[in-house]
Chain A
């Protein structure tokens, strides 16, 4: 089956290069949708910007760091209270956002003085906090403010503080993915190697590409603790600034989200010779496989098997209860990128769920290759899907549950399709064994919701039997 031109795309036929329907016997060597390309203006794409990829996804997770956004107020306001990444220190990261509140005069005359003042004020107002990320935004990048020079000056005047500068304005790249890249590379080049960690175990690793969504990091940490593995740095779930400066001292880099954070793992390998090991943290089979790979690296296989056995004993019966009820469910996944390939096979293997359509906002070629390799035939693979395409795809494949963001979730609600938050989760964590039971439970509760039947019932026409059935 070649690439698909949807009816709604007849005026933008180039979209057919982004939409693929896999048929039996084909794989990613036959057809590969274009990805990581510029969005067509006016298509109502789901994409965000590079700035948010850096601030909202990665930097803003850190639990001890001021996030100073050098720009007009909106960039700060909009990347605040939109994420669910708690911390073990009272969620400092979710409570605050900082902005230099750029006004027209700063655009005309430059905003460096404004930035310097704002940085000093922020440290003065919160004297316990000594670490800061500074971000450029579209206008401050356009006028060419030298934020690094400002940060350097402040660090000279305040020797107890450390500041990292992230220069990725919203217009950089084609999606939030560019921001992940810039932050990864700048961090390793400027900050890794500037702090020496305290090593407390003979087995050490960095856990990369997990942002503690609803406590993912904290759940997985229990496993690493039981295995006797020290996590030197979490990039960046529940993480601290200084832990991330010590990433060079781990023996292994374990990568979950390869899209947002694969870059830093590659660089740690290149610059420090630390091997990279990719795992999937969602799903029973995948999680077990990941633990086995990690334990095999350290030569602690028995510990790994013991952990897996304990977790299976505890959680597998619950998973199976849901599997029995979810078997054959048609699911769609419309998220960022990697969760498509993390989830498509794990929900199939562990829950018997069939993924019928997937759309990635910012996946690159390697993500698309992975998802087509892992995903089934009869499934649509969409790059940078837009609203009209979603409507059409829904008509074609009729998903019973959609894992996507809250806004699209509200849209598909009107079509009587329940959504589960594929970004921030409904009631997570979703990683690990316990987490995948949570995912299964949320999917089951979404599908079993009696309101859906009631919504579909037309009370006009006096069909009492149908009404009674709907109410039951």
Chain B
């Protein structure tokens, strides 16, 4: 009994869980309004990431490339950075932000990104007097960290570049949820509204779920503006809901602008959400509203129907973003599911010291493995050689074949979830997220019972 934290022993990866750093940086970059990230690297580095976003959200997002070729590999890609920035600024008059995202190739070549940005800015000042375009470097070599760190790095670089001055006090809350779905952003906004608290969600990705309108206008873009970022330095406090994706920017606001920062557990499951609401209440002095107590009750009521009847003693394998996986493990234990395998997919050495994992290590009454720097083969191997049995898989669509081939029910959660319709629209965070995920899990299990004729009659009277 107990929880063992290990690391992948193989050198190579078979079926990765995460994309590389520049991919994460691009995800952060599209969360900004009037922004087109410019990826300094080969064309594939942006093309496939755009495709990935389109697969997940069923939406198109603008990301540009400096289109690095052999000559740049030999002589440096300086002119391509300048040309890329100027072409964007000239052709997109609304453009106000260009994160210049580096890749493995341009970091190896060692292009002076900052110097070239300066040249481009001088040119912009001449051509477009009075126009403010925020162009800044985001250093995300693909051979370090992963999409998780890349997301964090781009958010931090954005704040360092734009949030330079201390703004007057706004009384607002900064909430940095990390890499989440539009459904989560909407949920967090709803909570603030119920509280009567003013706040900003960074990044505000609500419009990643955008409409087809009679006037054919396109609204698929982030909502976080330059003004929002500048004003964030005058906020009442910042909340980081993701230790590995948001904490660095919250620390920056604290250390540079004196905005009090709070790192809390990602609000997955009931108790983690409780803690978040209590923290908001504590910071703002406002009581937790009755409406949220009601929502909490509805969620617990729904989960109560599922937990000891269907979920108890079921063994679960979970993979995905670190804050999500750890949060989902908490959620599982709340509903009597047993998270027996957690996979964290990059070489961040801090995972092993994560207080949430250490706490789990203390308390789990069954065998549990946490594999750091894991790939999806870690899961598939355990399933295939029969050394471990899982009744449920929780993770993103890249792991779908493990579930399909081994006939294990799987609930899609996280990023990307391209093989199920509309999941990005629903929250996973909060009471509602916990309830929806619990029901999604139950329905996956019920369908599985029917297809495998495994006591499907049980549901006749449920």
Contact = CB atoms under 8 A, between A and B. Distances in A.
Interface of A: 8, 11-12, 38-52, 68, 71-82, 95-104, 106-107, 114, 117-119, 121-122, 125, 137-139, 141-143, 169-176, 387-388, 405-408, 410-411, 413-416, 455-458
A411 B60 contact: yes
A48 B67 contact: no
Contact of B214 (A40, A41, A98, A455): A455
Contact of A74 (B12, B73, B142): B142
Given A77-B398, A171-B73, 17 more contacts: A39-B43, A42-B66, A47-B43, A51-B42, A52-B44, A75-B44, A76-B16, A80-B15, A81-B418, A98-B13, A103-B143, A103-B144, A122-B12, A170-B42, A171-B68, A173-B70, A414-B212
Interface in B68-100: 68-70, 72-73, 80-81, 83-88, 90-91
B20 A107 contact: no
B421 interface: no
B293 to A, nearest CB: 37
A322 to B, nearest CB: 26
A394 to B, nearest CB: 10
Nearest to B61: A407
Contacts of A171: 41-42, 68-70, 72-73, 105
A142 B110 CA distance: 11
A41 to B, nearest CB: 3
Contacts of A39: 43, 65, 67
Contacts of B14: 96-98, 122, 125
A72 B83 contact: no
Nearest to B60: A411
Given A41-B65, A413-B212, A52 B12 contact: no
Contacts of B84: 41-42
B381 interface: yes
Contacts of B104: 71-72, 102, 107, 137-139
A101 B20 CA distance: 10
Given A42-B88, A81-B418, A104 B143 contact: yes
Contacts of A103: 143-144, 347
Contacts of B418: 81
Interface stretch (B49-57, B322-330, B335-343, B449-457): B49-57
Contacts of B146: 73
B214 A11 contact: no
Given A49-B44, A51-B42, A77-B20, A416 B216 contact: yes
Nearest to B14: A98
Nearest to B72: A171
A457 B383 CA distance: 51
- The 6 A-B pairs of least Cβ separation, nearest first, read A74-B20, A118-B12, A170-B42, A49-B44, A41-B84, A78-B48
A96 B15 contact: yes
Contacts of B108: 107, 138-139, 142-143
B141 to A, nearest CB: 7
Most chain A beta carbons < 10 A, residue from B13, B23, B63, B86? B13
A40 to B, nearest CB: 6
Nearest to A139: B104
B216 A415 contact: yes
A95 B400 CA distance: 9
B49 to A, nearest CB: 7
A72 B42 contact: no
A46 B44 CA distance: 10
11 contacts: A11-B87, A41-B83, A47-B47, A72-B142, A73-B20, A73-B142, A74-B19, A101-B16, A143-B108, A169-B42, A408-B60
A169 B109 CA distance: 14
Contacts of A407: 50-51, 53-54, 60
Contacts of B21: 74
Nearest to B71: A38
A121 B90 CA distance: 50
Interface in B1-39: 10-16, 18-23, 36, 38
B401 interface: yes
Given A51-B44, A76-B13, A44 B62 contact: yes
B284 to A, nearest CB: 38
Interface in B377-408: 377, 381, 397-398, 401, 405
Given A41-B83, A74-B23, A408-B60, A414 B69 contact: no
A268 to B, nearest CB: 28
B12 A41 contact: no
Given A41-B83, A42-B38, A99 B13 contact: yes
A406 B54 contact: yes
A122 B55 CA distance: 28
